Structure 1
Amino acid sequence: MPGYLKIEGVDKVFNGGAKVLGNVSLRVEKSEFISIIGHSGCGKSTLLNIVAGLIPATSGVVLLEEQEVNAPGPDRAVVFQNHSLLPWLTAYENVRLAVDKVFGGASSRAERHEWTLHNLELVRMAQAKDKRPGEISGGMKQRVGIARALAMQPKVLLLDEPFGALDALTRAHLQDQVMALQERLGNTVMMVTHDVDEAVLLSDRIVMMTNGPQATIGEVLDVSLPRPRDRIALATDPVYLDCRQRVLQFLYERHRYVEAA
């Protein structure tokens, strides 16, 4: 079966016996931007962590270019909601740490220096390269986290609600920046989000998860909007509005979140 990244029949049961995911299968093509959306507790981040190799699937398999994923690796870079920067290192040093780890045996010191600066420039953080995380804003920290991930030249970029903790304006700026970078670099991206508008704006396809336990893929929506995309122009675009409505309908009519009594 075709697919650059393949998730085949993945189940996940945690030690307490709770089956979080049940028979999840998905094909992702190279350079595709996929969003995974669903209610809290439906296993979105669990699925992303399985693809990252951070936790094992109970059954099923993840294949990247036909190679089984069973451990973390530089071919899959993760950006979390929490920026995960080392607070005692500068922005440059946080990115350089990943560059040295991945390319230390293949590139010279000068080449690694230039590559680190290049990736900071991609996210417009070269001017703050000597600042530590405590000296920059939340949005700037996430930019450094994205630069660190891109600097690894991963085959797949995994984003776990990377803008969830940011204010609305910063969030919009970073969404636009990630969209522009993905179009420029051709990254294969899988992103977990709760934000319907974010999913429609950024994605080629939106994967909608059913509620847990034993959550699975309920529906996959193609977002047939041309690129590049302009968020202002899309506000009244009928295709955008239809995609938004279909995701909302899935989330709030077919699979309402049921509060515990």
Structure 2
Amino acid sequence: MLVNSSPSINTRRTLQIQDVGMVFPTKRGPFVALRDINLEVQRGEFVTLIGHSGCGKSTLLNLVAGLTTPSSGILLLQERELTGPGPDRGVVFQNHSLLPWLSCLDNVLLAVERVFGEKEGKAQLRERALAALDLVGMSHAVAKRPQEISGGMKQRVGIARALAMEPKMLLMDEPFGALDALTRARLQDELMRIVATTGATVMMVTHDVDEAVLLSDRIVMMTNGPAATIGEVLRVDLPRPRARVALAENRDYVQYRKEVIDFLYTRHSHVEKAA
């Protein structure tokens, strides 16, 4: 563990969310989406946000991404206030958002050129993009366009594009939610390998309890909306690397899964209200 020369500075701390609230104006008046959000994420940590629909998971991720400005509170990335989007945060959505008229390589190059274009030559930029595609196992498809590859492959390219910017944080909003179960499992395994290789700091939104336990160092469980907040934070002390087949009968894994299910479906069960 690092020893800090100043007690006020945590050199491992990547993200700080302090007293954050989010209120949206509506025709019926202010809608309080989030309240009193306080969270720190350490460098290299994998944190998932989980909760029922409408609990503000994606809203919180959008705040970290800089796509939305908080109504109250402050967000700091490596001690600097977040005031908008930036290349220090790579974002991967459920929709891959690839440009259909560009090849996989050119889609990644767009991000690389934006971040490094002013200080590196074309050969270096291309090398960065190719390295990112190789990292996600897509070297064979650099010349293909999005419509020529599967949904899982598109998400791999989206992850490559985000990682190619060398962000301080990787933000993922249900990136595997639209995929079939087998593809989803393969990409979860791939993501664990990528994070182990790069040491990336990750915040991910998910509805899937098993996905959260498999991937996370900590699981942030949100209370129901409106006015949602952090209900509990569960630390997942499972050794890495993690193998899903072995974990299926792991006593600790089963207990972590039970704790999340108990929070979501016993203590914070979600009841859909009629309009």
What is the TM-score of this pair, normalised by structure 2? Answer: 0.94
Rounded to whole Å, the distance in 2 between the matches of 1:4 and 1:126 is 31
- The match for 2:20 is 10
1:90-135: CA deviations, max 9, x gaps? 1000000100110001111111111111110111111111111111
Rounded to whole Å, the distance in 2 between the matches of 1:185 and 1:101 is 21
- The match for 2:202 is 189
1:84-95 alignment, distance < 5 Å: 84-95=97-108
The answer as to whether partners of 2:14 and 2:168 remain within 8 angstroms in 1 is no
Secondary structure of 1:162 counterpart: coil
- The match for 1:139 is 152
1:102 paired residue among 115, 131, 142: 115
Q: Which runs of 4+ in 1 moved over 4 A?
A: none
Secondary structure of 1:218 counterpart: strand
1:142-161 alignment, distance < 5 Å: 142-161=155-174
Aligned residues: 261
- Post-superposition shift, 1:222? 0.3
1:215-249: CA deviations, max 9, x gaps? 00000000000000000000000110000000000
Rounded to whole Å, the distance in 2 between the matches of 1:102 and 1:215 is 35
- The match for 1:238 is 251
Matched, 1:206 2:219: yes
Rounded to whole Å, the distance in 1 between the matches of 2:98 and 2:24 is 28
The answer as to whether partners of 2:66 and 2:82 remain within 8 angstroms in 1 is yes
Rounded to whole Å, the distance in 2 between the matches of 1:243 and 1:249 is 10
Q: Give the unaligned 5+ runs of structure 2.
A: 1-7
Secondary structure of 1:174 counterpart: helix
RMSD: 0.7
1:114 paired residue among 115, 120, 127: 127
Secondary structure of 2:202 counterpart: strand
What is the TM-score of this pair, normalised by structure 1? Answer: 0.99
Q: Give the unaligned 5+ runs of structure 1.
A: none
- The match for 1:21 is 34
Rounded to whole Å, the distance in 2 between the matches of 1:106 and 1:37 is 39
Secondary structure of 2:21 counterpart: strand
